[in-house]
Chains A and B, each alone.
Chain A
């Protein structure tokens, strides 16, 4: 997966659809990232923080009991073991360093489940930056503890009461903040979405996941690549980082969305949050509200590079229902002693469903476990108490 075209396009998707006020800031960021990414000093600093602070490289864990149960060999890329609990740290450390490099002192971020917000607050604390996190009011209720966590880390959390009060509205609000503060503030976007250069930059910052995993899989699989590589997709940053490591191999790439927010499957080309991509929308072009138990996947769009990978057929995008996800969450806990976040539980749910079907018995499957499930425990308890899901 190389750089996009000069206009920020991946095939027909991507681009930069922002108000004039933000165009110079996007151009500045594009130059800054391109300089930084080619600068060995920046790369060394980033690698050192991810290693000594973040705990990289993360292991690939073979799931012996689950594999036996499913009849396919399941390997997990353990991003849940990164400091702050998810792959999001890879991206925010890169962007926080970039913020300093651009001479800015503040970051704004949007968050759904709270993982990106927690990561952004963490990186801001580490590097001495101010941080404001926008979070849909509905999500602040679902993820109360993460709100407190961000506040402990010194971030200001602003609940967003407009629209569907979820992730897409948090993005709107973060963009509105950025328009007014762009002189001293960087928008630390959490996924492979938004205007160019964000989708490209965030994918590059996340490709460490796929690059590590490919080398690790070759050791575990006697020099071979996995047959199938699976990751969950909201905006799609952990999937983009994972796929970047495997796109040149023969592995089948699968992104799994929430059934209630399956923009890759049900979306129609459109423009939102600065990018042309596949979006859930009505006939007039009004954006629809995604619905999922997982706040991190409650997004009516998908990163433009995923839309392009789907259009070219190099990756396939599928979905998992809330019930399948809860069952997968429990299965992972009981068979492997791992509580996955509800987001990657979608990827696991897909493997559980497809093992012995589209994933033939004996196949090897790499799943990116993008985050840990501690944040979801209270919600899962409540969902199970109300009688869902059928096990």
Chain B
């Protein structure tokens, strides 16, 4: 495969979008979860995503709720490998930045340098590894930095202020504000702790802040963007794909999210 120009680097791109007055929309879908997942990725990008988070399936996704778990199972049952998901992203021609999201054992098994280099070679400029906290980050972050792969870090409602500062200092791309204590999945409302988490991040950095975990509807996305720069929307989109909605339904849903953010 060849990447002619490739998508822009994540953080400068998101900063520029923010400076232009846009709220940031980062949909998540699981790599290889359906036969036509690449078309879904393209549809999502075309419907107004500022970046797309692509899951590399792992057998034991302990940070994820039932919907993403099911998507992981389906992807693995289809024989998905990290390698194949990365190749598919490269071949997709998607021109917005892509961040992969996976668990640390996938990275560890591949080798830090090898994983960072294959992401970079595929034009994937960012990675989220939720079970790799600050204290264990060193070897991966070093390899990722060397390959120009931005490591997005999470800040949780339970993270004390001093620790938020250290995390923000090491975060690249954007800072992922975890909206609530809990695993991924659709919720009735935005977490009550969201504003406080975002506030603590704001006090520590001027990097873009996106809220995720439980953001499921256009109105929740809009509410989150009143305090943050953007949102990550995963389970609500993945559920539509699991239900057989295909690229069309995915694009339609992301389009509605986009509209809600642009109206906001």
Contacts and interface: CB of A to CB of B under 8 A. Distances in A.
Interface of A: 7, 15-25, 162-163, 168-169, 172, 175-176, 179-183, 268-274, 276, 279, 281, 283-287
Contact of A20 (B59, B66, B155): B155
27 contacts: A7-B136, A17-B131, A20-B134, A20-B158, A20-B159, A20-B167, A20-B178, A21-B154, A23-B134, A23-B135, A24-B163, A25-B158, A162-B69, A163-B60, A168-B60, A169-B60, A172-B61, A175-B62, A176-B62, A176-B65, A271-B103, A271-B108, A273-B62, A276-B108, A284-B82, A284-B106, A287-B60
Given A23-B159, A182-B181, A285 B60 contact: no
A17 B63 contact: no
Contacts of B103: 271
Chain B CB within 10 Å, residue with most, of A17, A22, A168, A287: A17
Contacts of A176: 62-63, 65, 182-183
Contact of A21 (B105, B107, B134, B178): B178
Given A20-B167, A179-B183, A183-B181, A272 B105 contact: yes
A24 B110 CA distance: 29
A182 B181 CA distance: 8
A274 B62 CA distance: 10
B199 interface: no
B260 interface: no
B81 interface: yes
B133 A16 contact: yes
Interface of B: 58-63, 65-66, 69, 73, 76, 81-83, 103-110, 130-136, 153-160, 163, 167, 178, 180-183
Given A20-B155, A20-B167, A163 B59 contact: yes
Contacts of A183: 181
B180 to A, nearest CB: 8
Contacts of A168: 60
A284 B73 CA distance: 15
Contacts of B108: 269-271, 276, 285
Contact of A272 (B60, B130, B183): B60
A22 B60 CA distance: 17
A182 B109 contact: no
A286 B58 contact: yes
B109 A270 contact: yes
A162 B69 CA distance: 8
Main secondary structure of the interface of A (DSSP, over half): mixed
A14 to B, nearest CB: 11
Given A23-B158, A179-B63, A273-B60, 4 more contacts: A169-B60, A269-B108, A270-B105, A285-B109
A169 B106 CA distance: 18
A274 B181 contact: no
Contacts of B130: 19-20
Contact of A172 (B62, B156, B167): B62
A17 B105 CA distance: 10
Contacts of B59: 163, 286-287
Nearest to B109: A285
Contacts of A281: 105, 109
A285 B167 contact: no
A39 B76 CA distance: 49
Contacts of B61: 172
Chain B CB within 10 Å, residue with most, of A20, A24, A274: A20
A16 B109 CA distance: 17
B105 A285 contact: yes
B76 A286 contact: yes
B133 A23 contact: yes
Given A270-B109, A284-B106, A19 B58 contact: no
B133 A19 contact: yes
Nearest to B157: A21
A133 B58 CA distance: 24
A179 to B, nearest CB: 6
A180 B58 contact: no
Nearest to B130: A19
Given A19-B154, A23-B159, A287 B183 contact: no
A16 B136 contact: yes
Contacts of B156: 19-21, 23
A23 B163 CA distance: 10
Contacts of B159: 20-21, 23-24
Contacts of B69: 162
Nearest to A270: B105
A180 B65 CA distance: 11
Contacts of A17: 104, 131-133, 136
